[in-house]
Amino acid sequence: MSKFHRFEQEVDGVEMPRQFTWPFHYVPARLSVLAAEQVMRDVAARANWAAELQAGKMLGVLVVHDRVGELGFLAAYSGNLCGRNDHDYFVPPVYDLLQPDGEFRRGEAAITAINHEIERLEQSAELTYLTQQHQLMQHERDEAIAAYKRQMAMSKVERDKCRAQGGLTADERQALLAESQFQKAELKRLRRHHEQILSEASRKLAEFQSRINRLKAERKRRSEALQERIFHLFVMRNARGERKDLMEIWGGALPPSGSGECCAPKLLQYAYRQGLQPVCMAEFWYGQSPVGEVRHHGHYYPACRSKCLPILTFMLQGLDVESNPLAEPADCDGLDIAHDDEWMSIVRKPAGMLSQPGKLLDDSVESRYRRRSDVCGPVVVHRLDQETSGLLVLAKNKTVHQTLQDLFASRRVTKTYIALLDGNVASDEGIIDLPLRPDVADRPRQMVDPVEGKPSITRWRVLERSGGITRVALQPLTGRTHQLRVHCSHPLGLNAPIVGDMLYGTAASRLMLHAWRLQFVHPITGQAIDITWKSPF
């Protein structure tokens, strides 16, 4: 079956993207949306895939022109689907890890055999016997020594009585001393005797365990060698016709597990191999959200950075790609100051501007503030996400900065945000308590984790409901990264992502989150500070 799919509906009037999609921060083009909707209809009709898809799977589409200029699209899924990576509707993998006689399967079989031998040894009667014997020898040693020490203690009591009564001859005193010396020497001999017996039991147990450890070391060596070999077999292409394997792309370091198996690399690789011209792409979630993560069925998400950023950076070379919007300076001049005194300022940060200079962009509230103000030391007291607008507190010297940070840390600052949520929130108000931690495999995303997560608490209240959109006021009682965004979108929170949140919801013209109000007592003057900035949406 052809991997090139024609659109089921007329697309002649649909606007063509001027540039190819920047995959790490994008609003999906209309053509990508139409292709994704067609893929979702197709997979929904396949009953044998239903269980796995409902459990959650990332799918992707790449709109392309074929060699004669006809418009169509390709489809892909991340990893495997129902134990296969060769389903006819989707593009094939870059390298087929599931080939029965392929290097991966052969290497995996050898590692599995080692696993089975390790498991056999760890569960063997011989190891159980050696472990029990070693524990028995330890117990007998400890009991024998303890018993002899009790005997020595009683003997000492008797000797002390004899000495206390007096009238001992020189020979009798010498006999008491000799008894004490003998018992101490006997204790040493007893220790040596049991240590010799225990040493033999320890040697036998250590020899057996060393067999297991050698197998584990061999398993690790084979696993790393297999991974490196497989990553050499993932040879990626770009639009210039250049090729690099994953080890080259990572500069010789071992890439993360699963690299090259996501949707975007699969789609581009197939397009380049078949001489198809990429137009735009999108990745979307199908099914339930994974535990701890935030994924909504049918919502579009950026490519993961941990695995795909190096790969796609290479594969996109030769295409006319949109610029990274997060690396573009904010479309505004200067800074809008809401409050200013000799110790601090409160500025109105527009959406799209960084709070502090980043890796890709120096333009920020802090850099602009330093250029216009006579400040020293740290400036930004708390941060707002680049896509969030609102009030931001800046300090003019190190001492004030620390004092203001202490205010925030001790929850003596009341911060109120306004947000538009994509969905109808049933209740009117409440408190969300969902601990958060970074998703180390896909930064900067955050995850809900009741074990490793840090406490994260948000108070919320509905302001208005209209047309499937809920306007809410949010008060974060803690200050975790993406706290409001995750608490709104997570199924155990409000289950309604903030409009425009491409990490946890669906992209739009902007993230509809605004830091509306700040309330606190000025740490120097004691003045009550209560400043608001009307929401722009």
Catalytic positions, written as ranges: 385
Distances (CA, A) of 356 to 369, 393, 415, 416: 10, 12, 19, 21
Q: Per the structure block, which two tokens stand in for 354?
A: 């960084």
Burial readout 2-20 (b: 16 or more C-beta within 10 A, e: otherwise) = ebbbebeeebeebeebeeb
Burial readout 489-510 (b: 16 or more C-beta within 10 A, e: otherwise) = bbeebbbbbbbbbbbbbbbeeb
The residues, ordered by sequence, that sit 6+ positions from 70 with a Cβ below 8 Å of its Cβ are 6
Q: Which residue has the tokens 């209560």?
A: 530
How many beta carbons lie within 10 A of that of residue 534, not counting itself? 8
| Structural contact between residues 152 and 182, judged by C-beta atoms closer than 8 angstroms | no
Alpha-helix runs per DSSP H in 82-124: 103-122
The pairing of beta strand 71-77 with beta strand 414-422: unpaired
H/E segment holding residue 40? helix 30-44
Q: Residue 331 CA to chain centroid, in angstroms?
A: 31
The residues, ordered by sequence, that sit 6+ positions from 466 with a Cβ below 8 Å of its Cβ are none
Report the candidate in 452, 437, 472, 501 with the shortest Cα–Cα distance to residue 295. 501
Cite the beta strand spans of 399-495 per DSSP E: 414-422, 429-433, 436-438, 446-448, 457-466, 469-476
| Structural contact between residues 418 and 516, judged by C-beta atoms closer than 8 angstroms | yes
Residue 174 sits at φ, ψ, to 5 deg, of: -65, -35
Residue 45 identity = A
* 3-class SS of residue 480: coil
Across the chain, how many H-helices and E-strands are there? 11, 17
The residues, ordered by sequence, that sit 6+ positions from 439 with a Cβ below 8 Å of its Cβ are 293, 445, 446, 447
Q: Per the structure block, which two tokens stand in for 131?
A: 């472990």
Residue 8 CA to residue 169 CA, distance in Å, equals 118
| Structural contact between residues 32 and 24, judged by C-beta atoms closer than 8 angstroms | no
Q: What is the 3-state secondary structure (H, E, C) of 271-338?
A: HHHHCCEEEEEEEEEECCCCCCCCCCCCCEECCCHHHHHHHHHHHCCCCCECCCHHHCCCCCCCCEEE
The pairing of beta strand 513-521 with beta strand 389-395: parallel
* β-pair partners for 364: 354
* β-pair partners for 286: 57
User: Is the preceding peptide bond at 444 cis, omega within 30 degrees of 0?
Assistant: yes
Burial readout 27-39 (b: 16 or more C-beta within 10 A, e: otherwise) = bbbebbbbbbebb
